[in-house]
């Protein structure tokens, strides 16, 4: 097994060959369902890009956790990318996390773990202003928000699920999720 395959398998717990075969299966499935070749290839390309982006994010979070542990950090935050960020990441970036727990990601996530200075717990909310701004945007777009976190209670809306390959996965509770127990044996 080459070093790249070993790292990919270590990050996901699944052989890289199996993971990187999925875009080909996507193309074949699309063709079998009557899609034209160009559309089938686009679907396969989308799947491949999703896989590679997720592998990069997994590598970044695993490496960051190791570096923060070696450096003695106890807490970290999600540093938003400089581009456009989703609501999941924006709200999650206002919170502190423990280094011992791997940062939850989601497909397309570009957040970077960043250690918080010192070893004293800074409290759960570390960026009050961004959290207020996020609530204001939610209220503007959805017509309701509660900065007290009760209506909606974001702890019930934005959750962490355990994904069989990625580990902790940042998700919205109402989104469908196939867990390992849902798959035929």
Give the model's pLDDT for residue 103. 75
* 55 touches 109 (CB < 8 A): no
Please name the residue that has the structure tokens 């469908």: 176
Long-range contacts of 95-102 (CB under 8 A, 24+ apart): 95/124, 95/125, 95/126, 96/121, 96/122, 96/123, 96/124, 96/125, 96/126, 98/74, 99/65, 99/68, 99/69, 99/73, 99/74, 99/75, 100/69, 101/168, 102/61, 102/62, 102/65, 102/167, 102/168
What whole-number distance in Å separates Cα of residue 36 and Cα of residue 41? 9
Q: Is the pTM of this model over 0.85?
A: no
Give the model's pLDDT for residue 143. 67
Low-confidence ranges of the chain (pLDDT < 50): 149-150
Measured over the CA atoms of residue 97, residue 101, residue 102 and residue 108, the dihedral's sign is negative
**How confident is the model over 7-61, as pLDDT tens digits?**
667 778 888 899 999 999 999 999 999 999 999 999 999 999 989 988 888 888 8
In what helix (H) or strand (E) does residue 169 lie, and over which residues does it extend?
strand 167-172
Give the model's pLDDT for residue 153. 58
Give the model's pLDDT for residue 125. 87
* 54 touches 12 (CB < 8 A): no
Residue 123 is encoded by which pair of tokens? 């409290």
Give the model's pLDDT for residue 171. 77
Give the model's pLDDT for residue 111. 83
Three-state secondary structure call for residue 172:
strand
Where exactly are the structural domains of the chain?
1-71, 72-185
Give the model's pLDDT for residue 27. 97
Give the model's pLDDT for residue 184. 65
Closest listed residue to residue 173, CA positions, set 152, 146, 144, 142: 152
């Amino acid at each position: 097994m080459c070093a790249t395959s070993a790292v990919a398998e270590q990050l996901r717990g699944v052989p890289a060959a199996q993971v990187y075969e999925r875009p080909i299966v996507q193309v074949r499935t699309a063709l079998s369902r009557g899609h034209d070749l160009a559309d089938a290839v686009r679907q396969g390309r989308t799947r491949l890009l999703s896989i590679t982006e997720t592998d990069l994010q997994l590598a970044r979070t695993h490496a960051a956790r190791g570096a923060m542990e070696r450096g003695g950090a106890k807490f970290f935050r999600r540093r938003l990318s400089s581009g456009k960020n989703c609501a999941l990441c924006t709200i999650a970036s206002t919170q502190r996390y423990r280094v011992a727990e791997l940062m939850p990601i989601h497909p397309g996530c570009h957040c970077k773990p960043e250690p918080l200075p010192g070893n004293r717990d800074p409290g759960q909310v570390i960026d009050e202003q961004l959290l207020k701004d996020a609530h204001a945007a939610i209220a503007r777009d959805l017509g309701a928000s509660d900065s007290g976190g009760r209506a909606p209670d974001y702890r019930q809306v934005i959750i962490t699920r355990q994904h069989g390959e990625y580990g902790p996965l940042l998700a919205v509770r109402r989104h469908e999720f196939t867990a390992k127990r849902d798959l035929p044996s």
